[in-house]
């Protein structure tokens, strides 16, 4: 059977003639070209013999699309003596079906350039070297990252909050969120200028990133406001982490020629509860806890208990 990637794959076992340019090592890629804006530009390297696509953890490729089934479809890379012999896709009984180039399929063989639609997401099969992989990664970073701080931007982190909320409602998994606001940030801008304020925000983002675990998701959602999503974390763990962030921020100093700039933060913490009807209600609860921390003297953590009770720490 002919190799669907004959035009791109080179045989690593064949020596090139002297002076001939050798091709850069390439990979089989799936690139998101349409669908969720926060996913646009993401790419996945097909390294396993079979990779599943779905909307929840457990799939090899997890997509942010409510119309995708938990286990939607699978892509198999079949190898022979010459390398990749063919690439197959098969539907796993998905509610909304799997489409290749606009046609519904239960099983099909793919070629480079084919477009796969699952839910509202379209992925294109391609073949790329390290340069192309970096290009697609850069596209995704530009779409998802805040330019000033390097943290995720508001659109991305709020979308992640929605995704984690849906997963928690379906699976019963717990997660928590922390809302953070820099106390009296306007004073930094007024005393030292907006450039200093921007430098402090970038420094604060570094403090935040160093305080978090690998699985935590942090984003800038306002001028000096940040939201942190903590998967598989209860209220006590979230409170302890918020306290660590608060103390690390209190100890942080931005040194400039004219002065050392220091500030404090206030934090609101909340754990997911099944009584919540929507992700926005959850965000409102953690934001209200932040508001209470501000009104109670700043530089503290308030945790919102959905029963209406609140505890504070300092």
Q: Do residues 281 and 261 lie in contact, with contact meaning Cβ atoms separated by under 8 Å?
A: no
**Which residues are identified as catalytic?**
224
CA atoms of 110 and 120, how far apart (whole Å): 20
Q: Do residues 254 and 234 lie in contact, with contact meaning Cβ atoms separated by under 8 Å?
A: no
Q: Do residues 146 and 131 lie in contact, with contact meaning Cβ atoms separated by under 8 Å?
A: no
3-state helix, strand, coil in the chain (%, to 5): 30, 30, 40
CA atoms of 107 and 88, how far apart (whole Å): 7
Q: CA-based angle 165:168:172, to the nearest 5? A: 160
Q: Do residues 150 and 214 lie in contact, with contact meaning Cβ atoms separated by under 8 Å?
A: no
């Amino acid at each position: 059977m002919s190799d669907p990637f004959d035009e791109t794959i080179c045989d690593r076992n064949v020596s090139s003639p002297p002076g001939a340019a050798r091709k850069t090592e390439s990979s089989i890629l799936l690139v998101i070209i349409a669908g969720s804006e926060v996913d646009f530009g993401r790419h996945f390297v097909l390294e396993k013999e079979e990779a599943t696509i779905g909307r929840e953890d457990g799939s090899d490729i997890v997509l942010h699309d409510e119309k995708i089934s938990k286990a939607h479809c699978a892509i198999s890379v079949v190898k022979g003596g010459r390398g990749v012999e063919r690439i197959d896709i098969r539907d796993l009984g998905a509610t909304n079906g799997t489409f290749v180039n606009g046609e519904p399929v239960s099983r099909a063989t793919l070629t480079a350039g084919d477009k796969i639609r699952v839910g509202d997401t379209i992925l294109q099969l391609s073949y790329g070297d390290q340069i192309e992989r970096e290009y697609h990664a850069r596209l995704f970073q530009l779409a998802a990252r805040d330019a000033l701080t390097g943290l995720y931007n508001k659109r991305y982190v709020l979308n992640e909050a929605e995704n984690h909320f849906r997963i928690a409602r379906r699976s019963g998994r717990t997660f928590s969120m922390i809302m953070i606001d820099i106390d009296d940030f306007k004073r930094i801008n007024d005393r030292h200028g907006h450039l200093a304020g921007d430098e402090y925000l970038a420094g604060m983002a570094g403090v935040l990133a160093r305080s978090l675990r690998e699985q935590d998701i942090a984003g800038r959602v306002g001028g000096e406001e940040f939201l942190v999503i903590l998967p598989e974390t209860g209220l006590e763990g979230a409170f302890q982490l918020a306290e660590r962030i608060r103390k690390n921020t209190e100890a942080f100093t931005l040194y400039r020629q004219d002065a050392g700039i220091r500030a404090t933060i206030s934090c609101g913490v909340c754990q997911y509860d099944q009584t919540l009807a929507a992700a926005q209600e959850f965000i409102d609860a953690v934001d209200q806890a932040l508001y209470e921390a501000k009104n109670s003297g700043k530089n503290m953590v308030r945790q919102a208990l959905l029963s209406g009770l609140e505890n504070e720490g300092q």
